[in-house]
Structure 1
Amino acid sequence: MDTEKAKAPFTDWQVERINKFQESNACHPYTCMDAYCNRSKVPYGGRLIAKNEGLVCPCGKYTQDECNPFMIDYEDDMLE
């Protein structure tokens, strides 16, 4: 398995896969790391949302430009 991080910019296909993984219960999702983000008051509890430019917190104060490759390269039935 590839251990090198997947880096932004992400393709549309990667964005779709990452968001599906983030919304699943496969493991704890990436969440906002900004010290000023009140995750209990932002949409999705501060769960990062994949966009082409990276994973973005709904608070708008934090963006992460990489993720683990298994968040993209997984078998579809793994998330069911």
Structure 2
Amino acid sequence: MSEFPAAWTEPLRGALAEDDVAEDITTQWSVPQGLRVQAEFITRQTGVVAGLAAVEAVFAQVDPEVEVKAQVTGGAEVFPG
């Protein structure tokens, strides 16, 4: 996976701070503490993968325990489904 530009770390942190889910009353009410989930990104259109380093950086900021396992590499062509 490519490196996330260090210059983008602070802007990312600031953007996430605006939406701090740990302090969000709706999140506190609707998401059980300690909940663990698994998710997939599935494309609806043909395209080219980009931004994997950003995805990893965002999730690392939100929760360092999040594990991102990319099934494709940056630049790979992907198809619906």
TM score, norm. by length of structure 1:
0.29
| Rg comparison, structure with higher value | 2
Structure number having the greater strand percentage: 1
Give the helix-richer structure, 1 or 2: 2
